[in-house]
Structure 1
Amino acid sequence: MKSLNLPYNPRIDQLRWLAALLVFLFHFYLEYHGRGGVGSDSRWFALATEGHTGVGLFFTLSGFMFMQIALHQKQIVYGEFLRNRLLRIVPLYLTVFLLATSISRDKFVPQDILYLLASNLGLAPTSGTVITGAAWSISLEFTFYLVFPFLARFAMERGMRYLFSLIGLMVFFKVAAFTVNANSTLMYFSTFVGRFDQFFIGMLAAMVVQRHGDLLRRHAGWLLPLAVALVMFDSALQLKVSKFNTDAHSKFWIFWSLLESFGWACLIVCWVSWRGRVPAWLEKVLCHGGKISFSFYLLHMAVIHIVGEWVVTVPVLTGHVRIDGMLGMLIVYGATWALATLCYATIEEPFLRMRRNYAADKGAAVKSIDGHNNQATGS
């Protein structure tokens, strides 16, 4: 998806595609295994069976991309930034939220409307049904949007040490929260205390690319395989040490998000710095996958669940269990891709055309985030 505030980089869309794919594989595996399909404890497949790590990639990538914009534009106009973010996420998010409240109509109370701002907490309507459950992460994203222009300004003024200080504070909050929360796994997975450090690490990665871009481009060819190996190691460690669905209170989760995000940050840095090329047709497909990744992410669980409920519990196509599972996954993935493409064109794209440049410019005077008059464009 192209930004109005930064030269288009197809590598970012390709990483968005990867993040959405991993989350899809995770939920497909849970549904497939839960309905009697063959399971896997192989560490080689941990990137799929622990594919919730795709959410960590999304968060890290958000911090990286927005910090790249801040570094490129030098200053962000707060009001225009939030306007663009609202146009980006609210139309589809509100659609999914209304679907969730419709499903839970008989349990709905007026104050549930406040869960629009906190879909990751309590008894949010979106978390009451599997088909809208992925929406939990959206309120965390938006919370980051609310503070990002300030964080970017302070990071540019004070350097990387400012972000390291924030990460240090987050570690303290994680340790403190662990001592009083018996279900710390879920807390770390879906709340501010467990996830905001991943945005900070993404911002740090953007500053590394700005400062050492030439060096990274020279060495990305051999660093990229190491970054891939690190990401796979992180998922294998997650599978071995503390499975998300079985361990409610593990000290491993105190540092899990840092380890996960560091691996993804390394991959992001190496991938955007790599001078190699992928085939043109493949790049086009992956970039389209990145463009529709928001729709794909919010709708994929509904498709998986519908297929499992109405079409087939466990696919029997060839008589070979693993091959059947793979073919079933490809069919469901294709159906989700088609639905996400339709949803993007129908709900997302019309609002995205209303976005404006939110970087400061020498055009019209507007009020910036520090409350003083500065120059900015409204185009």
Structure 2
Amino acid sequence: MSLPFSVPPSNNLPWNPRLAHLRCLAALLVLMFHVFHTFFGNWQPRPEAFGFGWLVEGHTGVSLFFVLSGYLFMSIALRAEGALDYGRFLRNRTLRIFPLFLVVFMVAVSVNRDTFRPQDILYLFFSNIGDPPTSKQFMTGAAWTISVEFTFYLIFPFLARFALAQGPGYLLRLIGLLLLFKLGAFLLNERPTHMIYSTLLGRLDQFLIGMLAAQYAAMHILRPVHGVWVVGAGLTMWALLEVQKYWASFFSPDPVQVAWVVWPTVEALAWALVVLSYAHWRGSLWGWLGRVLERGGEISFSLYLWHGLVIFLGMRLLGTPDWFADWRLNALLAGIAVLAVSWGVASLSYRTIEAPFLQMRGRYVKQTHVTLE
């Protein structure tokens, strides 16, 4: 018997637990990244932490979220042959992200009530630029990505239509044009690293690479792939984050890092390799682990938006964990504690805020002959 708060899978694409696993991974990377820097890393580059690039530069989880979005929606468009109902698509995406985002925004506005300006309401659509209320405190700061994501939703049906009509070359040309704009913006902006990190200009190619990966899979991956590809993709991503930790850290005191002109693109290509190999892996995880990660993927949006509050409360009420001499052990235990509490809060939030709206979603694929499993 289904639980009273269970949400039916999407009407537009068969449920793929592998993609849920990767969404859980993305949320966990961001969570552990924030735990480390709040309690131990002090938001500074840590090149000496060998093997921990995934932790020191764990903001890469945001890039994985963006690549997954491009991959997922392009997979839907491929099944529908590009025939997406624009209004229904936006309605579904609004029902997916705005209820919880509005709660977070309301909290941020309330906290900053003494400095509130009427025009701040526009930050509902621009939470990643200017001086948004959500970015003024850590506990709501993760919401900056919502505007980047939603802007992609606004243009995706057109991108999908043109990509299907013209082939992968269309997306490759767009990525090339974006790189040119990035170079120009990089030379013009005084803090180009942060500009590229936090804007659609810097991130759009990550969505496009996700779309390109979906097209590649449909054209070339005709059977399950060997696990060696999954391991190789994971090691490639790990090595890339080690390189970033040493030579292109987001926390470098130098606000002008030339590598960041192409870094989001390279990062997205590596994550696309992970997505392609894992989504088509012929093996499977242990039953319990798969179920946990699948549940984590289901609540990943709540986990992403709520963990900042849990970390903030932990820091203010308990201070920096200093139980053992090795920071790694302290970080591990702190991470487990934050994850446990955040998981519980996210599950409650998903059941209370997200699930009722998710049940209102409908079908936006126009084709009636597409068989959905």
Q: Confirm or deny a common fold (TM above 0.5).
A: yes
Task: Give the aligned partner of residue 164 of structure 1.
Answer: 172
User: Paired residue for 2:120?
Assistant: 112
Deviation at 1:149, TM superposition (A): 0.4
Q: Which residue of 2 aligns with 1:99?
A: 107
What does residue range 62-101 of structure 1 map to in structure 2 within 5 Å? 62-74=69-81, 75-101=83-109
Q: 1:204-230, CA deviations, whole angstroms, 9 ceiling, x for partnerless residues?
A: 000011011225x2x432221111111
Match of 1:175 in 2: 183
How many angstroms apart in 2 are the aligned matches of 1:132 and 1:327? 23
**Counterpart check, 1:281 vs 2:260:** no
Question: Secondary structure of the equivalent of 1:44?
Answer: coil
Q: 1:31 aligns with which of 35, 38, 45?
A: 38
When structure 1 is superposed on structure 2, of 325-334 and 347-356 the one drifting more is 325-334
2:310 and 2:341 in contact (8 A); partners too: yes
Kept in 2, the 8 Å contact 1:6–1:69? The answer is yes
2:250 is aligned with 1:244: yes
**Within the alignment, does 1:353 sit opposite 2:359 as a pair?**
yes
Residue 193 (str. 1) matches residue 206 (str. 2): no
Pick from 133, 136, 139: which aligns with 1:131? 139
Tell me the SS of whatever aligns to 1:360.
coil
What TM-score do the two structures reach when normalised by structure 1?
0.92
Q: Tell me the distance in 2 between the aligned counterparts of 1:342 and 1:180.
A: 45
Other-structure match for 1:338:
344
Name the structure 1 match of 2:297: 290
Partner residue in 2 for 1:306: 313
Instruction: List per-residue Cα deviations over 1:68-104 (Å, max 9, x = no partner).
Output: 0000122111011000001000100000001000010
Paired amino acid for 2:333: L
How far apart, CA to CA, are the structure 2 residues paired with 1:33 and 1:103? 26
2: distance between equivalents of 1:292 and 1:98? 21
State the structure with bigger RCO (CA 8 A, min sep 6), 1 or 2.
Answer: 2
**Larger deviation: 50-59 or 353-362?**
353-362
Other structure's SS at 2:100 match: helix
**Aligned partner of 1:21 among 14, 24, 28:** 28
Counterpart-to-counterpart distance in 1, 2:330 and 2:257: 35
Contact 1:35 1:314 in 2 (8 A): no
CA deviations on 1:127-173 (whole Å, 9 max, x unpaired) are 11111000000001000000000100000000000000100010001
User: Equivalents in 2 of 1:35, 1:115: separation in Å?
Assistant: 28
The amino acid across from 2:265 in the alignment is L
Whole-Å separation in 1 of the counterparts to 2:353 and 2:256 = 40
Shift of residue 245 of structure 1? 1.4
TM-score by length of 2: 0.93
The count of aligned residue pairs is: 360
Q: Amino acid of the residue matched to residue 263 of structure 2?
A: W
- How far is the alpha carbon of 1:311 from its aligned partner? 2.0
Paired letter, 1:272? A
Aligned-residue offset at 1:313: 2.1
Gaps of 5+ in 2: 1-6
Q: Secondary structure at the match of 1:214?
A: coil
Conservation of the 8 A alpha-carbon contact between 1:35 and 1:313:
no
Which 5+ residue runs of structure 1 have no aligned equivalent? 364-375
Residue 262 of structure 2 aligns to a residue whose secondary structure is helix
Helix, strand or coil for the counterpart of 1:136? helix
Sequence identity percentage: 45
